[in-house]
Amino acid sequence: MTMSAGGVPHANGPVVAGDAGGMFAFSASGPEEEAARDAVVRAANHLLARQDAEGWWKGRFTTDVSYDAHDLFLRHVLGVPDERLAKASARWIRSQQSADGSWPLVFEGEGHLGTTVQAYAALRLAGDGPDEEHMLRCAAWVRARGGVAAAQLTARVWLAMLGCWSWDDLPEVPPEIIALPKWAPLNIYSFSSVMRVALVAISIISAHRPVRPAPFAIDELSAPPGTSAVPPAPARGREKLFWRLNATVRVCSKGIPRPVREAAENACVRWLLERQEEDGSWGACTPMTTWVVLALHLHGYPPDHPVLKAAWGFLEDCGAWPEDGVRALHTVHSPVWDTCLSATALLDAGLAPGHPALVKAADWLLTRQADRPGDWAARRPRLSPGGWAFQFHNRTYPDNDDTSEVALALHRVHHPDPTRVDDALGRAVRWCLGMQSRNGGWAAFDVDNTSTLPARVPFFDFGEFCTDPPTADITAHVVEMLAALGRARDPRTRRAVRWLLGQQEANGAWYGRWGVNYVYGTGSVLPALVAAGVPRGHAAVRRAVAWLTSVQNADGGWGESWESYADPARAGRGPSTPSQTAWALLGLLAAGERDSTVVRDGVRWLTERQTEGGTWEEPQFTGTLVPRAVAAHYGYYGHVFPLMALGRYVRHTGDVSVGRQRNEATEPDR
């Protein structure tokens, strides 16, 4: 067995138990530090043993069961059912049902009407009868909440395709929307990237209004007589006007000449085909790919067309079988995100920066950097590519979050070809700086995507999350990256810092857009501010420390409920979880609170709950795709973040800005 200088085995070697042989630097050693050091060794070994031979890490990424239902709906509408798959998917869907008959968005969360309706319909397709006990409980729960008519729009769209709802009672998206110029209100680039692909595909679907009747009705989900069952649509003001305008659009669509409609559909199809990824997907995401497959089928693409065959291959690969006879859909694969976070966690743990596992991870990450323009170029046509996306194959939608976290990891690795790494980091810095919004912050995928109009379009009921405005968590990660790469004094970094300071809530926290929620936002912003030169004694830092201290649970950990997105009174409140405890500790360590009782209690919470295998159990959903609508469970969150926090604790460092400082990158190409 080959050992590194720190005593941890190479990624392809056996796992070493016990002390890592001087991998850490201690100034003193108390009980908490000894326990934390042992926990770091076990966690590092656990992570190293799970690296793929190609250099990447990937945890299981899951959301609620609605996407498992979509998979069954798609196969029915296209006339390609698979009984074995349907039975296996049904077993998974049933296993996620709550005691009250509903299906939640998150582990042990409150029932969600749209998800529950879709789960019920999927189980009916799979053969479950309406008189079975679990189906009776579900139907009663749905009826008590207004029935199908009160469900979110996506559920009713799929039910319309199953013949269980009327297309006439749904808003319409005409394919002619593809022709709107980029400066026009409600052009496709005014929507967020995730919504954009769905919008173009749904415009084709909406024009065809497909119906393949299911062999059942779902009248048992109808609200009882006398119950108000109004769909969740805006009720007044400009929102009500948009619903009236959509009714006008439906009437006008009937008068569109056939050649015009065909030309619009063809333009939509061309736009979609240009964005198909190497793995056959769209955005390397099953929900988007599902919509596009259906749209192309309706447009006339035969099942054996190479485009659809590749897409089906991707959807099949996204089916996971956690146990025999059970199929659960991977909504998306997350190797880039998991790999850069794993590398950072191992570096925080004290693994030698030139360790073969880290070099291998860096080599793989370098092959994932985008080398062609994506949709972001609609607003930055002269900006050179240089970002990273989340998945194996997604060159169309790189994002600032992955890019900054990959760069933070790469700049700390001692790679045998530093010029190659420096060139990649230079491209990343130029791209991120070119993606800064006017207000000084960074969004996920776009620049200045802040229009309020898409939130009022009736076809989407995600509200303000139809767009992609700058957020505190992503801006913090970019700022932290720029500071680590020698850009702390850059005027654009300083402007971002000012924007972050202005985003602090009155209670001292920061909102977390992509993680649940204020604990994530605050744990992200504090390390960035300190890395960028904000003094630890700054009033904003002290307010954040006070807030984190105030929401620490009695057991020493931190937790926050998904419901805090809907109810800010729940900010920082919820059962303790490993990832959220780690986020709070990362913020407190950056703020100079290492020796406080609060930090020691948090460290003790993590060390006492580590499993024999060296990891942590975390069934809770602490990731976010769309606040209040789509939560996510990252399989590695409950491991890499505790390893980061404990590693920084035992090594007496509160931030990740350790490693080679690089020269200022050239100006971004606008």
Q: How far apart are the C-alpha atoms of 180 and 271, rounded to whole Å?
A: 13
Please give the span between the terminal C-alpha atoms of the chain, in angstroms, as a whole number.
Answer: 50
Q: How far apart are the C-alpha atoms of 644 and 585, rounded to whole Å?
A: 9
CA angle 647, 651, 657 (to 5 degrees): 80
Q: Quick one: which of 3, 5, 15, 9 has its CA closest to 612?
A: 15
Q: How far apart are the C-alpha atoms of 382 and 96, rounded to whole Å?
A: 47
Q: How far apart are the C-alpha atoms of 495 and 438, rounded to whole Å?
A: 10
Q: Quick one: which of 252, 93, 249 has its CA closest to 171?
A: 249
Structure tokens at 375: 């949709």
By three-state DSSP, how is residue 3 classified? strand
Q: Quick one: which of 461, 464, 462 has its CA closest to 443?
A: 464
- State the catalytic residue, choosing from 38, 401, 402, 655: 401
Contact of 548 with 558, CB cutoff 8 Å: yes
423 a catalytic residue: no
What sign has the CA pseudo-torsion 78, 80, 82, 83? positive
φ/ψ of 44, rounded to 5, equals -65, -45
CA 337 to chain centre: 10
Q: Quick one: which of 44, 26, 22 has its CA closest to 650?
A: 26
Report the run of H or E that residue 582 belongs to, with start and end: helix 578-590
Contact of 106 with 57, CB cutoff 8 Å: no
Q: How far is CA 175 from CA 170, 172, 192, 295, in A?
A: 16, 10, 18, 11
Burial class (CB in 10 A: 0-12, 13-18, 19+), 232: middle
Q: Quick one: which of 199, 198, 208 has its CA closest to 290?
A: 198
Q: How far apart are the C-alpha atoms of 142 and 102, rounded to whole Å?
A: 8
Cβ partners under 8 Å of residue 412, min gap 6:
343, 344, 347, 353, 656, 658, 659, 660
Contact of 258 with 252, CB cutoff 8 Å: no
Contact of 465 with 626, CB cutoff 8 Å: yes
Render 11-53 in DSSP notation, one character per residue. Answer: TTSPPPPS--SS-S--S---HHHHHHHHHHHHHHHHHHTT--T
Residue 537 has a CB neighbour count (10 Å cut-off) of: 9
Contact of 602 with 27, CB cutoff 8 Å: no
User: Where in the sequence numbering do the catalytic residues fall?
Assistant: 401
